[in-house]
Structure 1
Amino acid sequence: MAGTKTIATIRFEATLSRPAQPKGAAWTFLVLPEAASARLPTRSQVAVEGTLDGQPFQATLEPDGQGSHWLKVERKLREAAGAEAGDAVALEIAPSAKQPEPKLPPDLRQALADHPQARATWDDITPVARRDWIQWVTSGKKAETRAKRIATACDMLASGKRRACCFDRSGIYSKAFSAPRAAD
């Protein structure tokens, strides 16, 4: 198909780390090497599918605010791969052909239910646009900020606005996103 860009499978190794917070987390994470991340189509969130030490998975890579991405590795996948924190794992990933539907936080779900015009626009936008709205709402550090962003999002969606404006999706400029800090 003309104009369609396909990205070859990206192969790399990375080390699994246990997050410092929350203490006792069952999940681990890894930060993609810069060269692997640079081959992805965006510096912001990107849905991928692939394998981790031969085990298939689908996930959304998160921006690390440094121009790269990080991956949350759930316990089930880590155990299936026979890996532990501190282990180097081999990954093969490619952007997903179809974007998954993002998980709608309960407070935003309720606000959209209370604002039918906002919900109508929400239902008409793409999963990537919905993911951006969710990321913008949830990136606020304080409860008051999140509440204000939910109200603003509902107002903008109700007026037909389809994208969160002026939002640094990569975290590079705003320093809004980062990979978890590894436990010592």
Structure 2
Amino acid sequence: MPYRGLLTRMGAPNHILIILKSIREKIGKTFGDKVKITVELDTEPRVLELPKELVKELKKDKEAKIIFDKLAYTHRREYVLWINEAKKEETRQNRIVKSIEMLKKGKKAR
């Protein structure tokens, strides 16, 4: 099952690879279980599709856009996932507004 993630140094010479819960569930594993993996160098840029409404709000608020653009890919992804997981349009819009506020206060999504 292809997965794109990051190896994180956990003290020399150890590294960990955090695997999404959705993938662990598909392969029947839980946090702490051992899995066999193949690691390949990934040089492709990570592209994140932003919700159109978020793009619109970020264009209106230059400070929030600068902050958002400086975030690591994983932190930007958390904002996008949080917005996209909203079941109701009203909730989605509220999360977009809240995201702009949180960005300006230096808070992470979720």
TM bin, normalised by shorter chain, reads 0.5 to 0.7
Of the candidates 25, 50, 73, which is equivalent to residue 68 of structure 1? 25
> Where does structure 1 lack aligned partners over 5 or more consecutive residues?
7-39, 45-62, 71-91, 166-184
- Alignment of 1:140 with 2:97, yes or no, is no
C-alpha root-mean-square deviation of aligned residues, in Å?
Answer: 2.9
Q: Which residue of 1 aligns with 2:19?
A: 42
- Alignment of 1:5 with 2:33, yes or no, is no
Paired-residue identity, %: 26
- Counterpart-to-counterpart distance in 1, 2:104 and 2:87: 25
SS at match of 1:68: helix
Of the candidates 64, 76, 97, which is equivalent to residue 118 of structure 1? 64
Q: Compare the two structures and name the one with the higher helix fraction.
A: 2
> Where does structure 2 lack aligned partners over 5 or more consecutive residues?
1-8, 28-36
Runs of 4+ deviating beyond 2 Å: 1-4, 67-70, 92-99
8 A Cα contact 1:119 1:158, kept in partner: no
Give TM-score, length-normalised by structure 2: 0.65
Structure-2 change in CA distance of 1:97 and 1:41 (3 Å) = farther
Structure-2 change in CA distance of 1:139 and 1:5 (3 Å) = same
Equivalent AA in structure 2 for residue 118 of structure 1: A
Alignment of 1:1-184 (within 5 A): 2-3=12-13, 5=15, 41-44=18-21, 63=22, 67-69=24-26, 94=39, 97=42, 100-161=46-107, 163-165=108-110
